[in-house]
Every structure is written in structure tokens, then in C-alpha cells.
Chain A
Amino acid sequence: MSALIARPALLRTPAQPLRVAGRLAGGLLLRFGVLALLVLLWQWAAARTSSLFFPTPAEIVARIHHDWFSGPAAHLFLTHSVATDIVPSLGRMLAGWILGSVIGVAVGVFAGESRVIRQVVDPPAQFLRALPTPAIVPVFLLLFGASTSMRILLIAFGCVWPVLLNTMNASAAVDPQRRSSAKAMHLGRARQLFLVVLPSTGPAVAAGMRIGLALGLILMVLSEWVVSTSGLGFTLITAQQHFDMTGMWAAMVALAIAGYLINTVFLAVEKRVLRWHEGARGK
């Protein structure tokens, strides 16, 4: 923010660039300083105790580089494992998450229209959402086999509930005046939906989708513990079973970074889309 204010000043005097650089550096230091500090602390503590179960960050980074970034330059230095493990895993997770979110919004908007339907949909949604996932994985396995579609459906199953419940409740909370004015203006069902309901429920839907993202990662890992031969979750659990601690940590760090990146992208998209909707709402 301060960089934006400083920009016009940049054009004025030659001393400004240094101040701008200083401010930028200060901003970066603030944002990543704590993280860097924690990592250094970890490195120091792990190197001193040399525990089998807590490898140093240096070892973990080396392992990550070896497993996923030591490929040929033509492939952006990515190794083959990225294509066989990371990309399919994350791809399945995103597919399941999108599928779950779409179904959640559709059913939620529909259910939000009537109080009776809401009262019918709410308890089974809460019930299904509360089922312990390690116990339902075998059910999905039996119903859909050990295929990619099984894993996507499992993730979708987990992601649908927060989106559905959020959408349903937010849709019910849409200002009834807006609804009636839309009806009075003889707007078709679809236009009512896009101009009134969706914009108002936007933030709630986004919140539900964010929860779904976290759930999606968990389900992605869980779904690869059974009948799997590849994937990030598979790598994690196999490393643990072979007492390959560094490998286990590498997989966990990869998961954290992937989750962080996806979340950041989602937040940026959310801000854009919601800003547009704010406009449509006439705020």
C-alpha cells in the first residue's frame, strides 16, 4: 500500500527509489520474517538433537529438490514424480472440490427458497457431513471401485456440505424486499437468481468453498491411503510406513505449500468476483 502512495514521489526526486526499496523490503521482512525465524529455529533445534523424527529443514528441502525439482531443464526442472504424483492428486482434489461446490450451490439456492425444504435438507446434510471419513472410504471403494472417479466423488462428497449449508442459509437470508421487487419487475427465474440471490449469497458461498478446500485436501490424503499406487497422499503414507521420516516431512511440506498456493489464488479470485457482485448489488 505504501508503495502505491510512494510511486508519484518516485518521479519527483532521485532519493525516493531508496526509500521505496526500503519500504518494500520492510514489507517483505514483516510478512516473511516470522516464517524465516521459525525455520531457522527449527534448523538449529533439529541439528542439535539430531532426532530421527524431526529432520532439519535443510534435509527436507534437499529431499524436496531431489524428489520433485531435480528434473531436466526442458521440463522446468520438474521430475517425473511431479507428473505421476503431485499433478494427478491435486487435479483430483480440485475436480472434486469444484464438483462439490457446484452441487452445493445448486441445491443450496434451491433449498433456500422455501423454509420447508430447508428444514428437510438441513438435518441429513448435517448428518452426512458428520460421518467419520475413514469409515466411509470403504463404502466409496465398494460403490465406485478403485478409480479416479471414486476419489473425485469422495472429495466432492466432503466438499459439498459446507457449501450447501452456507448457500442455503445465506439464500434464505436474502432481503425479502429484493426478492419481491425482482418479482414485481417480472424478472425471469434465472435473472432473479443471478441479479439478486447469487450476489447476496456470494460471501457465504465463498466461505463455504474455502472450508471445502481444506476438507478436500484431507480427503485427498485419506483417499490415497487405500488401493493406491501413486499420489501425494500415497507418498506421505508410504514414507511413514517405511520409516522414511525425511520423505514423510517432504510430503507434508509439499501439502502445506500446495494448500497455501491454492488458498491464495482462491482468495484473489474471490476478491475479484465478489467486487463485481458488489457492483451488481448496487452497493
Chain B
Amino acid sequence: MRLHAVTRSAFVHGLIGLVGPGLADQLVSWTGLVAPRYLPPATTIADRLWGLLGSGDFLADLVHTLASAALGLVLAVPVAVVAGVLLGLFSPALQATRVVIDLLRPVPAVAIVPLLELTVGMGTRTVVFAVAIAIVWPILLNTIHGVQDVDGLAIQTARVFGLRWLRRVATVVIPSAAPAIGAGVRIAMSLALVVTVATELIIGTDRGIGSYILHASTGGYHADLVFAAVVVAGLLGLVVNTAASAAERRLFPWHGRRPA
């Protein structure tokens, strides 16, 4: 009962908070800072948004974006976790690759997209690869930290019990590092969505929210549809992140409050 009361008040407060950006947008239109033709007021956007959510085409695009982001996650998570566990356990390996990681990490995914297009193509595959490349880093780094933080005594005890290396990793290291890995995956999930839509926008794929946004702007001015789709992308990110946080709390209840 108590939990329900908490989540209900959180929901209400959240809705109040969401009004904030909407109000700002409405004010911008009312004061004429930007003409409604180019940046529609929140009321118009809300109206178009309602229409979009009922449109089969848009929903198909939405599912496509979610699927692309998910595929990127599926590609990146195993690679990053395995690499992270290995690097976290073998510090010489980490020292050897640290420089390479620190050099590759800051390169923005947007800068790599032109290269990816040339080598992989102009479609969804490039989007998925761009997403995977972008989200590998938070998962990798969080995994490394999580593994490094594992209680050495627990590993030693497992060794004393005669567990082989692989079993030690599977039964001691990974469960102990799991909360940190979980946090990394949660960060990766919201990042995946943002990178998916952004890449779709840059490349001009055939399907996806980004493709819908482009399509709405090529034939003429449909700023209302464009921004309604942009708002959907934002709400999607909010929903995904909230769900991921809730899942994380459920899976790792002992971990306490974590940063975003």
C-alpha cells in the first residue's frame, strides 16, 4: 500500500515537472520570439502528438527505432562486459589498453558516421553499428570499475574452495560487479535511443523516428509534425530510463541510490 502511494505521488509530481518545458515552449510562441510556423506552441505539438500516436505508420517507425537501439545494445553489451571483466581482472592488460580506450572514447559517434556509411551502407545496419560503438564505453568502464571493486577476500575464498578461474568469475566476480554493470547498461540504454534517432536523422534511413522527422521537413514546412516526433523521442527516452531504473532497483535492491 505504501509503495503504491509513493509511486502515485511520484507520477503526479513528474507530470507537473513535465509541464515545465511545455510552458517554456508556449511562452516562446506567445511572445513571438520564434514564429509558431518554425517552433509551434506546446498546444499544437500536443495535438499533433496525439495524432501521431494513433498513426500506424508512425508507430511502425517508433518500433523500428526501438528495435535498432535494442540491436545496438545486444551487440555492445556482450563485447563490453566480457572485455570489461577481463580488463578489470588483469591489470597489466588494462594498463596496456588504457591509452587506446582513452583515445577512442572521446571520438563522437557523429564523426564516425560518414566512415560507417561508406563501409557499412546507408541503412539500419549503420545505425545499429553507430549505436553499438557509442554505447560500448559506458558499459566497459562501469564493468571495469565494478570488477575492480569486487571484494578480494571473496575471490580468494573461492580460490581456496578450489573453484576454477572461470567458475570464480561466473559465481563471484560477475554477481558482485552486477550492480555496476547494471548501471552501465542503464546509461547505455538511454544513450542508445538518443544515438539511434540522431544517426537516423543524419543518414536519412528509410524507417525510424529520425526518418519520420526528415520526411516531415523535406516537402515543405511541417514544423508541427517535426516537433511532435521530436517530443515522442524525448518521451521514449524518459520511459526507457524510468523502466530501466525501476528494473535496476528490483534486481539490485541492496545497492542503494545510484547516480544517473
Contacts and interface: CB of A to CB of B under 8 A. Distances in A.
Question: Does chain A touch chain B in the assembled complex, meaning CB atoms less than 8 Å apart?
Answer: yes
A252 B110 CA distance: 10
Interface residues of B, number: 67
B234 A123 contact: no
Contacts of B233: 130-132, 135
A121 B17 CA distance: 6
B122 to A, nearest CB: 15
B260 A162 contact: yes
A34 interface: yes
A143 B34 contact: yes
A165 B260 contact: yes
Given A143-B28, A218-B110, A221-B110, A136 B230 contact: yes
Q: Which 6 residue pairs are nearest across A and B when measured between Cβ atoms?
A: A130-B237, A259-B106, A165-B260, A119-B13, A173-B257, A123-B14
Interface of B: 9-10, 13-18, 20-21, 28, 33-34, 38-39, 92, 95-100, 102-112, 114-115, 118-119, 137-138, 187, 190, 193-194, 197-198, 201-202, 209-210, 213, 226, 230-231, 233-238, 240-242, 256-260
A262 B98 CA distance: 15
A220 to B, nearest CB: 8
B190 A129 contact: yes
A101 interface: no
Contacts, number: 170
Given A169-B259, A172-B257, A259-B107, A35 B100 contact: yes
Chain B at the A interface: mostly helix, strand, loop or mixed?
helix
Given A128-B21, A218-B110, A135 B230 contact: yes
25 contacts: A30-B96, A34-B97, A53-B118, A119-B17, A120-B14, A122-B17, A123-B238, A126-B241, A127-B18, A127-B234, A130-B241, A132-B197, A132-B230, A133-B198, A135-B197, A142-B39, A143-B28, A143-B34, A161-B260, A165-B260, A170-B257, A211-B187, A214-B105, A256-B103, A262-B106
Nearest to B190: A130
B13 A116 contact: yes
Contacts of A30: 92, 95-96
B21 A124 contact: yes
B44 to A, nearest CB: 15
A111 to B, nearest CB: 10
A260 B209 CA distance: 33
B102 A260 contact: yes
